[in-house]
Amino acid sequence: MKKFLLSISFALIILMSASSPSMAAKQIKIDGVPLPADVVTEIINNRTFVPLRVISEDLGAKVDWSNSGVTVTKSGTQVVLKLSGDTAVKNSQEVSLDAKPYLKNNQIMVPLRFLSETFGCNVSYKDSIITIATSPLVINGVKVEALQYEYHMTMGGVISQIKGNVYNKNIYDAFIKNMGNKVDAPASYSWVSDIDTIGHYYKLAQYDFMDQNDQSIQRFDTYSLVESFPEEVLSKYPQALLYDDSAKQWYLFKDAASQSVDQIIDTARKNGFLKVISNTVV
């Protein structure tokens, strides 16, 4: 009788272990960058789950919430997911899921492979590492390996690199889509904020899209008008300018576009895709 009870207990332990999530999934890399340690991932029945917010940001997808579920959209592909649902709706067609989304600690956990492959990413597994490869940014036929981002402060500057394809593409698109009319170079511009010169432009940041040999393929610089004079004096000066170093050309730019680029960079930093390579700020 004791042997029988021990056998039953052992079987229940095995069953519970098989259906319960592990503490964390194996290491996950997106475009070669590991997910941050504070991103909670889980494995349930050999399926890897990740927080929807993180994976949607890293894959460049937009998330909308409604009573019918959560809608994830990217490049014309739309997926509707429901908590604990065993099906999803992809571009108006129902598809089966072998892993159900669920809620944990106020985060929606979604199956990593399904969402990644749905949005055209390659998913591979080797040496206990799950690797997701998104489509690279290509400029003039050359693949971009990283974006080098530089800004200066009163004393010193910071140079960082972003290696996520989605983040780099979104930043590049923000420059191209918000590039205004061509203008002449301003009479005064530099990394230093000159408050004594009317119409001076302060260089906010420099963005170099780098190839695999760490050579710049394309460079953009953003500038902001130093507003240290009355508005009537500065009214003829545009508030923001963009310099295309590759074409040696100045353009009108939108201050809101600079802010959107900053938001993309902040998200890349939060999700572990930004690495500081030099910091000389005193």
> What tens digit of pLDDT does each residue of 132-186 get?
999 999 999 999 999 999 999 888 999 999 999 999 999 999 999 999 999 999 9
The top-level CATH class assigned to 21-133 is: alpha beta
Give the Cα separation of 68 and 66 in Å (integer): 5
pLDDT at 67 (0 to 100): 75
Rounded to 5 degrees, what angle do the CA atoms 228, 233, 234 make?
65
pLDDT at 14 (0 to 100): 34
Structure tokens at 32: 């070669």
Higher pLDDT, 68 or 91: 91
pLDDT category at 98 given cuts 50, 70, 90 is confident
pLDDT category at 24 given cuts 50, 70, 90 is low
Would you say 201 and 253 are in contact if contact means Cβ atoms under 8 Å apart?
A: no
Q: Specify the pTM.
A: 0.86
Higher pLDDT, 84 or 183: 183
Structure tokens at 196: 């004594």
Distance (Å) of CA 7 to CA 20, 117, 122: 20, 42, 43
Segments making up each domain of the chain, as ranges:
21-133, 139-279
Whether 5 has a pLDDT exceeding 60, the answer reads: no
**Ordered alpha helix ranges (H), the chain:** 2-19, 52-59, 112-118, 165-177, 231-234, 255-270
